[in-house]
A and B are shown apart, each in its own frame.
Chain A
Amino acid sequence: MGFAITETQRTLIENVRRFVRTEIIPLEFDLDPDESELSPSVLAGLVAKTKQMGLYNLDVPEELGGVGADTVTRTLLAIEMSQHRAGLYSPCYSAFGQPDMAQLYEATDEQKERYLFPILRGEKRSFFALTEPSGGSDPARAIQTRAKRDGSDWIINGNKTFISGADSADFGLVFARTGDQESGRDGITCFIVDADTPGFTVRRVIHTLRSGHYPTELVFEDVRVPAGAVLGEVGQGFAMANERLTKNRIPYAAGCLGVAMMAHRMAVEYAGIRSVFGSKLADHEGIQWMLVDNEIDLRTAAAITLDAAERADSGRPFRTEVAIAKIVATEAAGRVVDRAMQIHGGYGVSKDLPLERWYRELRIRRIGEGSTETQRMIISRDMLKGRYTSWIDR
């Protein structure tokens, strides 16, 4: 560890912060408190601005026309981009680009033309279908959706669940078993499936604590796709998914920190103006300690998350560090928002303020992208496999 924000990063942070405060937050005054989407025309106006700022498609490599931000910079900007009401699951309503589909960088030229470039231009939408009713924490074993060869085609049958965006997407990355059930992770293949392919159905919305940005349940009944729909190598789909899942946990953790920082800032300001029993809330030790605990939680989680990001950029192993960051940031953010609500009293639980939305949505973060328990398994596996190396020597 030894982290310092560069001048360039500081400038980027200030630009994104200004964008959030002048372009995003004012828009939210007129939206439903649970809203996660903007009308296409409003979003187009915001995208024009982020393009002008040179910050559209932050995650996309420069050779593909994106910004190619390193992980540390991306993490710092993810913290800023989430600091508004919808920010946890719809940071800036995707004005900085659609969610990353990095798997498509490995696509064939034909697949890139048909799927990747339209995504990068904001013309197509996609979904990522890994989790199944049989489980999401251990996909290598849980995946029961099967793809069987039929001549040069593949026929896909099975179910997926908790898949975001599938009802309005143009295509999806679908992970299916092409080996036998015992083949584990080596028997999983990734297919690109057009959403209008016969046999593909979005069966229902799964209604959760998160109302604006919802998951869906998918059915694949004899869905026929050509050989050209295989993304990467047959049997190598899990490795592709796993790499994405690991690295994505860093901005995922950062987004939690962003809303928690905003909640904490609100609590500090409110404690300074709200009077009770003849003095400001901030004068009461009980409130001061809550604010101090928030500060400790935030600084600890930020340091750990940025350390994971720095490791990812440096090429050193970072799986354990990402798992720790995911646990610490999601759990710390939950505590911070909880304390901020307590300090705000009745207003804290009302839809007049964003705190109640963040409270609900942060609960999901301890389950999504690999639950806290799964992260602990990852850490223990790394720690107990072979010769133990302490963090100072890693």
Chain B
Amino acid sequence: MSVSMSKPWTPLTAENVALVPASVGVFEIADEIGVIAIDFAGGNSVFGLRGALDEWRGKQSGLLFRYERTNAYLSRYREVVQVFVNEFGAVPRNLVGVDAPAGRIRSN
């Protein structure tokens, strides 16, 4: 199993977001250059992944997304962020200035 998210990217449109389950899970947002956000829809989220992605839809046009539906959303989120930081040397844009997960997990 890859420790990075590996599903194909999907355009962040209203039609595509409507197909996303309202479950808990982890997601990534990318622009034309690369990943700009890693986040999760947790137990307090309203409409789970669908609601969280819908919020991103209004922020910027031309974005892409991918997600994993998982009840282990916190551990998966921390793993994906660690892999990203160890690969790119910095947190994605949405985690700048916050207590982002830090650790030693790298891409296999």
Please report the C-alpha to C-alpha distance between residue A364 and residue B105 in the assembled complex, in whole angstroms: 24
Q: Are B42 and A204 in contact (CB under 8 A)?
A: no
Chain A residues with Cβ under 8 A from B103's Cβ? 167-168, 202
- Closest CB-CB distance, B78 to chain A, in whole Å? 7
CA distance A195 to B106 in the complex (A): 14
Taken residue by residue from 56 to 94, chain B's Cβ proximity to chain A (1 for < 8 Å, 0 otherwise) reads as 000000000000001111111011001000000000000
Tell me which of A30-38, A54-62, A366-374 binds B: A30-38
Which of B3, B75, B82, B99 interacts with A211 by CB under 8 Å? Answer: B75
Sorted nearest first, the 7 A-B pairs with minimum C-beta distance are A167-B103, A351-B43, A33-B43, A207-B72, A214-B75, A32-B42, A205-B79
Q: Does A203 have its Cβ within 8 Å of any Cβ on chain B? A: yes
The verdict on A39 contacting chain B, using a C-beta distance below 8 Å, is: yes
Known A-B contacts: A214-B78, A216-B105. Give 11 more (CB < 8 A): A167-B78, A167-B103, A167-B104, A167-B105, A168-B102, A202-B103, A204-B3, A205-B3, A205-B78, A205-B79, A211-B71
- B108 an interface residue at 8 Å Cβ cutoff? yes
Taking Cβ atoms with an 8 Å cutoff, the residues of B that contact A are 1, 3, 42-44, 70-76, 78-79, 82, 99, 102-106, 108
Chain A 202-223 residues near chain B, CB threshold 8 A: 202-205, 207-208, 210-212, 214, 216
**Shortest Cβ gap from A218 to chain B (Å):** 10
5 contacts between A and B (CB under 8 A): A32-B43, A204-B105, A208-B75, A211-B71, A351-B44
Q: B44 to chain A: which residues have CB within 8 Å?
A: 32-33, 351
Q: How far is the CB of A99 from chain B (nearest CB, A)?
A: 17
- Give chain A interface residues in 172-204, CB to chain B under 8 Å: 195, 201-204
B43 touches A34 (CB 8 A): yes
Residues of A that sit less than 8 Å from B by CB: 32-36, 39-40, 166-168, 195, 201-205, 207-208, 210-212, 214, 216, 351
- CB closest residue in chain A, given B79: A205
CB distance from B5 to the nearest CB of A (A): 13
Q: Which residue, of B72, B82, B102, B106, has the highest number of chain A Cβ atoms within 10 A?
A: B72
**B13 nearest CB across to chain A (Å):** 28
Known contacts A32-B42, A34-B42, A34-B43; is-contact A205 B106 (Cβ 8 Å): no
Contacts of B106 in A (CB 8 A): 201
Least Cβ–Cβ distance between A49 and chain B, in angstroms: 20
Distance to closest chain A CB from B26 (angstroms): 11
Once bound together, how far apart are the Cα atoms of A210 and B76, in whole Å? 11
Q: By the criterion CB–CB under 8 Å, are A34 and B73 in contact?
A: yes
Closest CB of chain A to B9's CB: distance in Å?
A: 23
CA distance in complex: A208, B103 (Å): 19
A222 to chain B, nearest CB (A): 17
Cα A210 to Cα B82 in complex, Å, equals 19
* A207 and B75 within 8 A (CB): yes
